[in-house]
Structure 1
Amino acid sequence: MHRAPIDDIALFLRRLQWTALGVGACWLLWVLAPVLTPFVVAAMLGWLGDPLVDRIERTGRSRNTSVTLVFTFMALLVVLVLVILVPLIERQISTLIVSLPSYRDWFTATAIPWLEQRTRLEISDWLDLNHLIELVRSNWERAGGFATTLLGYLSRSGFALIGLVANIALLPVLTFFFLRDWDVLVDRVASLIPRDYLATISRLAKESDEVLGAFLRGQFLVMLVLGVMYGVGLWGVGLDLGILIGIIAGLLTFVPYLGPASGIILGVIAALVQYGDWKHVLGVLAVFGVGQVVESYWLTPKLVGDRIGLHPVAVIFAVLAGGQLFGFLGMLLALPVAAVANVLLRYAQERYTHSRLYAGEQPTILIDPAQAPIVPKANDAGRTEREVE
């Protein structure tokens, strides 16, 4: 049955309205990105902490008491990370700056001649390593580190400084309210969904929550544990930059092979520059070998399990695309949007494989390739019978 032209026009207008609404929402998101950033961060923290609040609440405590306990734990964790990690990274970077001449000498006197001898390429002719290292060192020393650069930028813009202070002050307040009212917000959103689509949207929302949770709660915890293991292990081997290399390898763990590969390369180079023997190189390889065994046989099965996470390529693309389009807010929204898109694509594939377009109007069943196809056909009574054509 063909639709009337008026129906086609109405369908086109509805699609045009939804398209205009989507474009308007993206424009509004882009304009309000600086204001929305603390709200998005607080909402993500509330989403992460809500399962723990619900678990404590099931023990008989009130919602406010459960939220207070979880909020206090999260605040203490953030303070602990800032107190321990920030000075540690600053000392490691200072050690790296001081060690740059040693790395320059090792590359120019050992690594590059070794590569030129085996590849027969004149690498030193087109790679001025001395100039690159001195440029990095002079720029860093002139800036005085990351903190000085950031404060210098903020001091040039009074509104930026006020906005940063306001966002930092708002973040704990917003996080507390999101933790307290998360279930209420979810119920209110669910009440607005058309009843005919409630089951489908609830299923997709649950799958999106599982996908994003598998990545954030599982993979991030794997990254944290491996970063600590690699950092402590390399520090135990004796590398001055072991903790910094371990943190980098841990952060890159969500990309298969990239995290351990980058850590091994950086660790081996640091061992050769600092000690110049194979004993410490073997120590670096042993640290990453143990880390890979622990990740494969304990961390990933225990923390991530068989839940469907996001593909690392999709994560990288989503973060870069979100940052390019909407800045820091886009990077924050990248993972939730990628999780929802991943679930919607799987749902679209499921609908397609069950559609008549995929299966065909009248599927043919072959019992024996030598025989003619047997096609299901409905008789007059509405029952099916097989007819050989």
Structure 2
Amino acid sequence: MADNVQYNSSPGSDTKEPFYRKVLKAAGITLALLLFVLFIYYTFNSVLLLVFASVLIAIFFRGTADALSSRTGIPTGWSLALVMVVFLALTGLAWWLLAPQVTAQISTLSKELPRSIAGLEQQVQQYEWGRKLVGEIPTLDSLMESKNGWLQKSVGILSSTLGILANIYIVLFIAIFITINPKTYRQGIIMLFPLPKRNRAREVLDHIGSTLYKWILGKLFSMTVVGVMTSIGLSLLGIPMALALGFIAGLVSFIPNFGPIIALVPAVLIALLQGPNDALYVVLLYTGIQLVESNLLTPMVQKRMIEMPPALIISGQLLLGVFSGILGLILATPLIAMLIVIVKMLYVRDVLGDDDVHVG
């Protein structure tokens, strides 16, 4: 009995760490990782988003080339070269056919907008609330009073334009390299995981690539339909610059929820030049096209890919728009699609054990 007592009371017999210390350690590690991720994102968010844009373009090129190769038997290298040549040829042809008209109409649009705004201002000033509102808006003369301020704004616009062109060049440059040899970059990501987890990481990356490729195809289809419908509708209504306005509507429809609002503004301002009734018809036209896009085109696209709740998309757009500006707003939807795949595969399936969840 004495021996037992001596054994139980020996120093170091109870080496178990208290539970609260484990909790504190886990919380500290989690907080440190979270702060590190936030620091990296806050410091390099624009760079990360540009890289993600490059990955999207590479997924489109590579996915189309692989689909062509599997259906025709053409070697992957040749199908990839064919896809890129056809893409460049179609882009050049569209630019050659549409650029003169769109450029001319956009130039006219930039000249007509001030007159349209002035007409709108006159109509609004007929009401008391309108006069107060107009009084709060700075005039063009007041904005140009300071010569130095105007010069600084011009320099800022020029530098922003050059920055956008440089970013486009960088995105395309990175996308081409990823497209040519995606296995190198994919394998590099997989090697960051422990050996037992690498097969699962490979499966997750495959699902992400498949989901994003389907999303890109669906979005391109939706953008084309919206642009064509808008141009035809505005032409039937007799609204000037229908081609340019349709081109803008199709382009900005890449941004869900906010794109149609952005496209509506110049169309309504131009329609106001012809009268308030025309502006109302334009609003009804854009509303109808948006209903078709939301209730017909989007469900057709989402049937082939992962389901994304609208509230989640809007929340993600607002969050990324605040932190990353217009680039975050543009890329919010594919980022959310990628995160949904990761959460469903690694948490819902692997942690919670729910194998019935649809990934896409």
TM-score under structure 2 length normalisation: 0.66
Letter of the aligned partner of 2:274 in structure 1? Q
Q: Report the 3-state secondary structure (helix = DSSP H, G, I; strand = E; otherwise coil) of the residue aligned with 1:315.
A: helix
CA distance in 1, matches of 2:135, 2:216: 41
Which residue pairs with 1:128 in the alignment? Answer: 133
C-alpha displacement of 1:237: 1.5
Map 1:360-371; keep pairs closer than 5 Å: none
Structure 2 counterpart of 1:49, from 38, 61, 71: 61
Residues 223, 254 of structure 2: 8 Å contact kept? yes
2:193 is the alignment partner of 1:193: yes
Map 1:1-389; keep pairs closer than 5 Å: 4-5=16-17, 13=25, 16-17=28-29, 19-33=31-45, 38-58=50-70, 59-76=72-89, 80=94, 83=99, 88-109=105-126, 112=127, 122-124=128-130, 127-129=132-134, 132=137, 135=139, 152-153=155-156, 167-198=167-198, 200-202=200-202, 204-209=204-209, 211-240=211-240, 242=242, 246=246, 250=250, 251=252, 255=256, 271=271, 273-275=273-275, 285=284, 289=288, 292-293=291-292, 296-297=295-296, 299-300=297-298, 302-327=300-325, 330-331=328-329, 334-346=332-344, 348=347
Letter of the aligned partner of 2:133 in structure 1? D
What are structure 1's unaligned runs of at least 5 residues? 113-121, 356-389
CA distance in 1, matches of 2:330, 2:218: 18
Which residue pairs with 2:10 in the alignment? Answer: none
C-alpha displacement of 1:92: 1.9
CA distance in 2, matches of 1:135, 1:289: 35
CA distance in 2, matches of 1:226, 1:272: 22
Q: Report the 3-state secondary structure (helix = DSSP H, G, I; strand = E; otherwise coil) of the residue aligned with 2:181.
A: helix
C-alpha displacement of 1:268: 7.0
Percent identity between matched residues is: 20
What are structure 2's unaligned runs of at least 5 residues? 1-14, 355-360
Cα separation, partners in 2 of 1:244 and 1:303, compared to 1, 3 Å: same
Q: Report the 3-state secondary structure (helix = DSSP H, G, I; strand = E; otherwise coil) of the residue aligned with 1:274.
A: coil
Report the aligned-residue RMSD.
4.8
CA distance in 2, matches of 1:31, 1:100: 39
CA distance in 2, matches of 1:197, 1:327: 35
C-alpha displacement of 1:274: 0.7
Length, aligned pairs only: 330
Residues 46, 178 of structure 1: 8 Å contact kept? yes
Residues 234, 287 of structure 1: 8 Å contact kept? no
Q: Which moved more, 1:68-77 or 1:50-59?
A: 68-77
Deviations 1:235-288 (A, max 9, x none): 3311136456545655358656x777887898677656514558x956874686
Cα separation, partners in 2 of 1:340 and 1:234, compared to 1, 3 Å: same
CA distance in 2, matches of 1:37, 1:290: 30
Q: Report the 3-state secondary structure (helix = DSSP H, G, I; strand = E; otherwise coil) of the residue aligned with 1:193.
A: coil
C-alpha displacement of 1:180: 0.9
Q: Report the 3-state secondary structure (helix = DSSP H, G, I; strand = E; otherwise coil) of the residue aligned with 2:336.
A: helix
Cα separation, partners in 2 of 1:276 and 1:330, compared to 1, 3 Å: closer
Residues 97, 137 of structure 1: 8 Å contact kept? no
Deviations 1:189-228 (A, max 9, x none): 3354335445654554455445544544313531342133
Cα separation, partners in 2 of 1:92 and 1:346, compared to 1, 3 Å: same
Q: Report the 3-state secondary structure (helix = DSSP H, G, I; strand = E; otherwise coil) of the residue aligned with 1:307.
A: coil
Residues 249, 259 of structure 1: 8 Å contact kept? yes
C-alpha displacement of 1:47: 1.8
Cα separation, partners in 2 of 1:325 and 1:54, compared to 1, 3 Å: same
C-alpha displacement of 1:106: 3.3
Cα separation, partners in 2 of 1:138 and 1:178, compared to 1, 3 Å: farther
Residues 106, 273 of structure 1: 8 Å contact kept? no
TM-score under structure 1 length normalisation: 0.62
Residues 42, 174 of structure 1: 8 Å contact kept? yes
